[in-house]
Amino acid sequence: MMSGVEFPLWAALPAAVLLVAGGLFTLVGALGLLRLPHFYARMHGPSMGTTLGTGCVLVASMLLSSALAGRPVLHELLIVLFVVLGSPVTAMLLMRAAIYRDKARGRLKEE
Amino acid sequence: MSMVLDYAVWFALLCFITAMLFALVRLLHGPAAQDRVLALDTFYVNGMLTLLMLGVRSSSQAYFEMALLIALFGFVGTVALAKFLLRGEVIEPW
């Protein structure tokens, strides 16, 4: 496992904690997507889960690859940038689309 | 010490795969189109995280580039789908 690489303690322990936390956040977000009653409630789960879970996992990945290379490796910040910029934009666009479609079908009262 | 990290990576992989299954269920019978787009968004992010976990396990750089491409194209795809739901067109003619 792990290609026989032995990581130092200062990298392995925080990375393990971050990986478990990221996995749990993402799982809870997806569970919310599956179980919540209507679309406007379902919107919240994955937005929180993906942003927070991706952040945790990418910090862990940065720690491990830095420990492996013996110098700071920061290119995972690119994915963090795309996810942190992209997630609110997609959430906002999808919410606007859902409101528009529900109004067009008369399922949502005009305020 | 690598043992704990190994278990953590396995746990995270299981979490992401379960999350992908949940998103797949929502994708297959979401009542409205916007539910399906949201499920697709969750699905690609979890696929990207699974690839990152595989990259951590194998200490290889190739997985990182795949994850970067998935993050970029998934974002563009979700924005295009949301625009389609909003306007009925992705790129509108004059």
Instruction: Give pLDDT < 70 ranges for chain A.
Output: 1-5, 107-111
pLDDT at B13 over 90: yes
pLDDT at B63 over 50: yes
Asked if A40 and B32 touch (Cβ cutoff 8 Å), the reply is: no
Is residue A75 domain-resident? yes
Single pTM value for the model: 0.87
Give pLDDT, residue B44.
92
Cβ partners under 8 Å of residue A24, min gap 6: B15
Residue ranges of domains in chain B: 2-87
Is residue A4 domain-resident? no
Give pLDDT, residue B29.
83
Return d(Cα B34, Cα B53) in angstroms, integer. Answer: 29
Average pLDDT over residues B74-87: 90
Alpha helix positions (H), chain B: 2-29, 33-58, 62-87
pLDDT at B19 over 80: yes
Choose the mutation target among A50, A62, A92, A107 for the interface with B, i.e. most B CBs under 10 Å. A50
- Cβ contacts below 8 Å, chain A against chain B, sum to 176
pLDDT at B73 over 60: yes
pLDDT at B82 over 80: yes
Return d(Cα A102, Cα A75) in angstroms, integer. Answer: 41
Which of A5, A8, A30 minimises the CB distance to B42?
A: A30
Compute φ and ψ for B8, nearest 5 degrees.
Answer: -65, -40
Give pLDDT, residue B40.
93
* Residues of the domain holding A82: 9-104
User: Which residues of chain A are within 8 Å of residue B12 when distances are taken between CB atoms?
Assistant: 19-20, 22-23, 57
Is residue A15 domain-resident? yes
CATH topology of domain B2-87: Helix Hairpins (1.10.287)
Q: Interface pTM (ipTM) of the complex?
A: 0.86
Alpha helix positions (H), chain A: 9-35, 39-42, 44-69, 77-104
Query: How many domains in chain A?
Result: 1
